[in-house]
Amino acid sequence: MRNTVWRVQDSSFAMQLLPEKYMLDRSQPLRCYATGKTTWIGGSLPGIVWLKGQLGRVPPVLHYGKYFISDVFQDREGNILLSTFDQGILVIPNLAIPDVIDPFAAEPITALHISRRNGRLYLGTTRGNLLEFQAGELRPLVQDGNRPVEGIFGTPTSERLIFQGGDEIMVLDPKAGKMSLGIKSALKDVVFVEPDLAFLATSRGIFRCEWKSARLPTVMLLPEFAFRIHHMVEDKRGNALVASTSRGLYHIPLNGPSKRLQLAGEDVFPTAMYAAGNKVFAASRLHGILVLEEGRFIARIVPEIGRMEAISKLVIDKDRIFAKSSHGIYQLGMDGRMERNIGKAFGFLKSRVFDFELEDDRLWVSHSGGVQAIDLSFSALRQAPPQLRLVKVTVNDKTASASVAGDFASDERKIRFDIAFPSLRSRETLRIHYQLEGYDNAWMLKLDDEFAIVYNALEPGNYTFRAKAENQGQFSEPVAYSFSIATPIYRRWWFTALILLVAAAVIGAIYRRQMTLQSRKARQINELNASKLAAIQSQMNPHFIFNAMNSIQDLILKGDVENSYSYVTTFSNLVRSTLKYSEKDFIDFEQELELLRLYLSLEKLRFEDELEYVITNMVDEDIQLPPLLIQPFVENALLHGLLHKEGVKQLLIRFELREALICTIEDNGIGRQRATEIRERQRGEHESFSGKAIRTRFDILSDVHKGEFGYVLEDLMTDGEATGTRITCKSLCGAVFSIVFHSFAKPVHS
């Protein structure tokens, strides 16, 4: 038969036709799915019905009316998976968990209150309405609010309720009805110290309300606390109030002066407070949960909730702590240890939690999915965690074996471990603990939702990675993976020893080279000094002195006092200047020129009127050059070229500056060939300086100053016969020592 549902008995295989009401008035084809002893009936229209136990006792209810269910499947954990056409997969962890009493989609519930006197549940909505829930029915109490109800407060011995109604604080009394307290402020907390005496914590301060009749109470603002109050509870043993304010935490005796409570000299700003027995519990983001007794801090509880979250509501019951934060509701032990994360098992872990109330072992929770009653004794909350599996090990972004111990190279230092676990039910409540022995032996807690642990830059060494799962305080067996990272070559002992040996060899070579250079430089300086001495000796040789003195003597004998005096002065100046300049590396070009003039003026006495010389200076820049550099060439021209010349002896000296300083010396002497023949015949000793000493000095100057010093000798020919000699001297510094010698190679401006 079309569009009928039959039930088959397990023992007798007898078929039973279900009433038409299980078809939910649908004429379209139906589909049936079985998960254990539960039957699911769906079709081409949205929603699905599930059947279990004796039929007929409970009328069928359509679930998930917004979804088109295409398939139903039950996994190994007992989760029911409902496949939809276009909105993913719906997961039902356990069918025994009661659903919300109402989704309140249009008007979410922001505040809850359980009356201990009559067991009724009061609900405040985002639109300021007040509802009552009893025996499965909802009844409106107040429907004229215009702002969300942030809190509902009452006393166990009375049905009187205080709540926020619009812009004012309202009272709902069974006898007097609803009335305003005349306080236009935001209500934060209420403490009933007696059935007819309450203290109200508001954004304007603390108000004292006392009912002396069934009508309106007398209301008075405590002048000492006329500022914003956040939370307030009663310290029964101390007969006082404890208030969290914008200025800190205060202990306020009902009959006595108040005092500000500080911890280690600093103010405390609790985010939630609760009074249990004779103690007050104050939750603080910085300090955890502080325990106070008679206005003194006596203990501290650090909640083990994975992160120091801001607790917005706190309830203490039967050695249990229930704490609400932006991430859900936690149940903790009195030592702060996590007992369970109340969430996924009841389908609201990722929903926003507005408020909760505790009633024995039942927890009423208002969240974005509706209002739900949770049985805290439900065994599903204590299920064991699934076994972890190390599915992949990645080394430098390349996959390695997860089952074989790894031996990695020194540059393979980025290690990633990917962990998986076969569970849908425990996925949101599961927490991963891990450690890396050899890096940090302490167990770490994975705080994010990614089940991958990454180490970016491990040092060389041996390591063992371990991880284990925790579900509601229960731990699985850990998984382990051992690996090692090789020590790089540059950190091994033999490499260090080799580097030290190479460094020692290099230092030794550098030292030997420096010593060689120093020795060479010292030798060159000695040779240069020797060449200078040779130049001085040439300048002051006995033959020159003897000739000069004879010439001066002849002038004296002739009675030419004026010229004799002049030549004596010239001779003394030449000697003094020669000794003075010989100590210097460089002298001004004008000084060298003046020294040359002094020398030639004395030599003219020797040759008398036969010697004619002209010095042409075409250099108009300030330059420098080594001392006594030109005089030896002039002396050679006089000694070897002009001395044996008959008739007028002419000597031309010209200085010019091009890319280098050029000095040209020309004479009309007998030429180099005849001069050499005469010298060899006379076997004179002056050649030792004139030739060898000059070349030696020029070589030393070129080497020491990294420049170019040289000269060129050539004969002046007339009709094929040598009629004189030209000497061209050149001095040019190198770029390496341009700072020192540039002045003598090119113009230097003073």
CA-based R_g, the chain, Å: 57
Which has the closest alpha carbon to 111: 148, 155, 139? Answer: 148
Contact 748, 742 (CB under 8 A): yes
Q: Which of 341-350, 423-432, 642-651 has the lowest mean pLDDT?
A: 341-350
pLDDT value of position 3: 58
Mean per-residue pLDDT of the chain: 80
Q: Is the dihedral of CA 464, 469, 473, 476 positive or negative?
A: negative
What does the alpha-carbon distance between residue 302 and residue 316 come to, in Å, rounded to a whole number? 15
pLDDT value of position 18: 64
Q: Given the structure tokens 């507005």, which residue do they identify?
A: 354
pLDDT value of position 747: 32
pLDDT value of position 279: 94
φ and ψ of 473, to 5 deg: 90, -5
Question: The tokens of 45 are what?
Answer: 């229209």
Bridge partners, residue 365, by sequence: 356, 372
Q: Is the dihedral of CA 589, 592, 594, 596 positive or negative?
A: negative
Return the DSSP state at 502: H
Question: In this model, does residue 316 exceed pLDDT 60?
Answer: yes
Q: Which of 81-90, 454-463, 593-602 has maximum average pLDDT?
A: 454-463
Band of pLDDT at residue 276, cut at 50, 70 and 90: very high
Question: In this model, does residue 61 exceed pLDDT 50?
Answer: yes
Question: In this model, does residue 745 exceed pLDDT 50?
Answer: no
What does the alpha-carbon distance between residue 298 and residue 261 come to, in Å, rounded to a whole number? 12
Question: In this model, does residue 360 exceed pLDDT 60?
Answer: yes
3-state SS string for 586-640: CEEHHHHHHHHHHHHHHHHHHHHHHEEEEEEECCCCCCEECCCCCHHHHHHHHHH
Q: How far is CA 598 from CA 466, 584, 663, in A?
A: 99, 19, 18
- Strand-strand pairing, 649-657 and 611-617: parallel
Q: Is the dihedral of CA 234, 235, 241, 247 positive or negative?
A: negative
Which amino acid would we find at residue 436?
L
Contact 425, 439 (CB under 8 A): no
Buried b (16+ CB within 10 A) or exposed e, 267-280: ebbbbbbbbbeebb
Question: The tokens of 163 are what?
Answer: 């709540």
pLDDT value of position 687: 44
pLDDT tens for 489-532 read 777 778 888 888 999 999 989 988 888 888 877 776 766 665 55
pLDDT value of position 466: 93
Half-sphere exposure of 65 (CA within 13 A, CB side): 4
Question: In this model, does residue 382 exceed pLDDT 60?
Answer: no
Q: How far is CA 144 from CA 126, 140, 164, 177, 487, in A?
A: 12, 11, 12, 14, 76
Reported pTM: 0.56
What does the alpha-carbon distance between residue 534 and residue 13 come to, in Å, rounded to a whole number? 138
pLDDT value of position 152: 93
Question: In this model, does residue 684 exceed pLDDT 60?
Answer: no
Q: Which of 173-177, 403-407, 703-707 has the lowest mean pLDDT?
A: 703-707
pLDDT value of position 58: 54
Question: The tokens of 274 are what?
Answer: 């609760």
pLDDT value of position 244: 96
Question: In this model, does residue 686 exceed pLDDT 50?
Answer: no
Contact 112, 123 (CB under 8 A): yes
φ and ψ of 570, to 5 deg: -65, -45
Question: In this model, does residue 156 exceed pLDDT 50?
Answer: yes
φ and ψ of 217, to 5 deg: -85, 165
Q: How far is CA 128 from CA 110, 112, 148, 212, 604, in A?
A: 9, 13, 5, 28, 130
**481: three-class secondary structure by DSSP:** strand
